[in-house]
Amino acid sequence: MRRLIAVLVLALGTVDSPIAQQSSGNSQLNVVPVQGKIHLISGAGVNVTVHVGKYGVLLVDTPQAANVPRVMDEIRKLSSLPLRWVINTSSSPEYVAGNAALIAPFSGRAGGGAPFGFVGLTRPSIVAHENVLNRMSNPPDGTSASPDALPTTTYFLPSMDFSNGEAVILYHQPAAHTDSDSLVLFRGSDVISTGAVFTPGHYPEIDLARGGSVNGLIAALTNILSLAVPEGFASGGTLIVPGRGRICEETDVAEFRDMVVIIRDRVQDQLKKGMSWEQIKASRPSRDYDAEYGATPADADRFVESIYRSLTQTPRGGRS
Per-residue pLDDT of the chain (320 residues; tens, 9 = 90+): 333 334 334 444 433 433 333 344 567 899 999 999 999 999 988 999 999 999 999 999 999 999 999 999 999 999 989 899 999 999 999 999 999 999 988 876 555 455 665 544 688 999 999 999 999 998 777 677 788 999 999 999 999 999 999 999 999 999 999 999 999 999 999 999 999 999 999 999 999 999 999 999 999 999 999 999 987 665 679 999 999 999 999 999 999 999 999 999 999 999 999 999 999 999 999 999 999 999 999 999 999 999 999 999 854 444 44
Q: Is residue 211 part of a domain?
A: yes
Start-to-end CA span in the chain (Å):
44
Domain around 19? 2-263
Q: Is residue 273 part of a domain?
A: no
The amino acid that residue 235 corresponds to is S
Q: Is residue 270 part of a domain?
A: no
List all residues 6 or more positions away from 276 whose beta carbon is below 8 Å from its beta carbon: none
Q: Is residue 92 part of a domain?
A: yes
Q: How many domains does the chain have?
A: 1
Q: Is residue 244 part of a domain?
A: yes
Q: What values do phi and psi take at 59, rounded to 5?
A: -115, 140
The amino acid that residue 216 corresponds to is G
Q: Distance between CA atoms of 155 and 131, rounded to whole angstroms?
A: 9
Segments of 99-245 assigned E as strands: 125-129, 153-155, 159-163, 167-173, 181-186, 191-195, 239-242
30: left (phi over 0), alpha (psi -120 to 50) or beta: beta
Cβ atoms 173, 147 nearer than 8 A? no
Q: Is residue 309 part of a domain?
A: no
Which CATH number covers residue 177? 3.60.15.10
Q: Is residue 272 part of a domain?
A: no
Cβ atoms 290, 185 nearer than 8 A? no
Q: Is residue 210 part of a domain?
A: yes
